[in-house]
Amino acid sequence: MNKKLIVLDLDGTTLKENQTISLRTKSALKSARSLGHEVMIATGRPYRLSSFYYSELELTTPIVNFNGAVLHHPLNPNYLDAYHESIDLSIVKDILDYSSTLPLANIAAEVQDSVFLERSDNTVPETFHLGVNNVVIGNIRQTINTNATSLLFFGKIEELDLMSKHLDEELADVISHHTWGASWPAVEIVKHGIHKAVGIQRAAKSLQIDAKDIIAFGDEANDLQMLDYAGTGVAMGNAIPAAKNVADAVTLSNEDDGIAIYLEENLLKK
């Protein structure tokens, strides 16, 4: 069997709803690595909110953060394929100008592991305040002074639909965006053409693994390009319909050890 690269989304995929990785999943990933396969994370989270899981899984691979805007190697500061693709500050301010016309619940800008928040309240996930040494609260249009890794706009669905429509009509050639669901509906924006598959492609090349030998697990809209790019895209049982449609296979949910079961049946069986 060719060496495989197993790519893991975190939320809704590798992580259970209580933000833990099950023992069965950890065991299956460890067994895969013992057979010579590689395991890496590709997440929308910044590194500060994914480093714990990187360490818990004892990974030694590059990691994709911010949905592909950042690729780096936590164990190798001289990793030659690392990159950080950010949104130009002038575009950031143009988007913030438009957002001021909408009654949004909150706005966040992230610059690597620094966070700019319009308001410090419960309108954003509490994780925005975790693991951060530099949090700036206040009017982001005035406080941000550098290119942004990502922008997030939180609000009601109708407000976010207006934001998405504006982005598609006015800025489609310079930014990419997708929506969040769950408890904090949001539109997330990164540089044009950036998604998880961009980072995975570069990481796989550095690991000398072909796309056909990538097994990627995901569940949400920000996983679509990754699931499509991988030789084997696997959607979780709890995945959105679009993810299941683009995937090559569907496993059980994140609560039911879907990753472990797929690997046990397709990669680890004797």
Q: Is 9 a catalytic residue?
A: yes
Give CA 211 to chain center in angstroms.
19
106-111 vs 38-41, strand pairing mode: unpaired
The number of beta carbons lying within 10 Å of the beta carbon of residue 185 is: 16
Q: What six digits make up the tokens of 46?
A: 């910044």
Please check whether residue 128 is in contact with residue 117, taking contact to mean a CB–CB distance below 8 angstroms.
yes
Q: Give just the sign of the alpha carbon dihedral 12, 13, 16, 21.
A: negative
Do residues 230 and 200 touch, judged by C-beta distance below 8 A? yes
Residue with tokens 């950080």: 84
For residues 258 and 240, what is the distance between their CA atoms, to the nearest angstrom?
15
Interatomic CA distance for residues 6 and 29, integer angstroms = 9
CA distance 159 to 172: 18
Q: Which residues contact 142 (CB under 8 A, 6 or more apart)?
A: none
DSSP 106-139: EEEEEETTEEEES--STTS-GGGGTT-S-EEES-
Residue 254 one-letter amino acid: N
* Sign of the C-alpha dihedral computed for residues 192, 182, 66 and 158 taken in this order: positive
> Looking at 9, 11, 219, 223, which residue is catalytic?
9
Cα angle: 209, vertex 213, 217; to 5 degrees: 110
Residue 63: both structure tokens together: 């990691």
Active site residues: 9
